[in-house]
Structure 1
C-alpha cells in the first residue's frame, strides 16, 4: 500500500494500468488528448505489480482495479468515475487545479 500511495503522489496524474487492457488504453489516451502527461504504471510489467494490484483493490473496495487514476494525489477511481467527471465537465477543472494542464 505504501508503494502505491508514494507513486500516486509523484505526479499530478497517475494511472495504474495493465498493458493489455482496452479500458486502460482508453483512459491513457483520453488524458493524452487533453494534454496531460500522466505517470503510468503498468502492473503486468512491474515485479511488484500483483502486490500493487491487491493494494488498489483494497483502496477501491472492488475488483478489477484497473485502470485506477489519481489526480492531485487524490484517488479518483476507475474508468466509470473518470468518464463521469469528463462528461459532466468536471474533469478539466480538476486537472487544472492539480496543475496537470494549463488551458
Structure 2
C-alpha cells in the first residue's frame, strides 16, 4: 500500500495500467490528448506488479486497472475518468494539479 501511495504522488498525474488492456490504452490516450504527460506504471511489466495490484484492490479499485491518481488523490477507474472528462472536471483537476497548463 505504501508503494502505491508513493508512486501516486510521484507526479501530478499517475496511471496504473496493464499494457494489454484496451481501457488502459484509452485512458492514457485521453491524458496525452489533453496535454498531460502522466507517469504510467504497467503492472504486467513491473516485477512487483502483482503486489501493486493487490494494494489497488484494497483501495477499492475494481477493476484494478486503469487506476488514476491526480495530485496524489485517487480519481477512479476508466468510467470515473470518462465521466469527469464529460463534465469538464477532469481538465480542471489536471490544471489544479499542474499536470497541464492553460
Give the corresponding residue for 1:88: 87
- Residue-by-residue CA offset, 1:25-60 (whole Å, 9 max, x unaligned): 000000000000000000000010000000001102
8 A Cα contact 2:68 2:76, kept in partner: yes
Gaps of at least 5 residues in structure 2 are none
Pairwise CA RMSD of aligned residues?
A: 0.8
Q: Which has the higher helix share?
A: 1
Preserved CA contact (<8 Å) 2:62 2:77: no
1:62-77 residue pairs with structure 2 within 5 A?
A: 63-77=62-76
TM-score (structure 2 length as normaliser): 0.97
**Which residues of structure 1 form unaligned runs of 5+?**
none
Structure 1 stretches of at least 4 aligned residues deviating more than 3 Å after TM superposition? none
For residues 55-66 of structure 1, the aligned pairs below 5 Å read 55-60=55-60, 63-66=62-65
Q: How does 1:18-57 map to 2 (within 5 A)?
A: 18-57=18-57
Q: What is the aligned residue count?
A: 102
| TM-score normalised to structure 1 length | 0.96
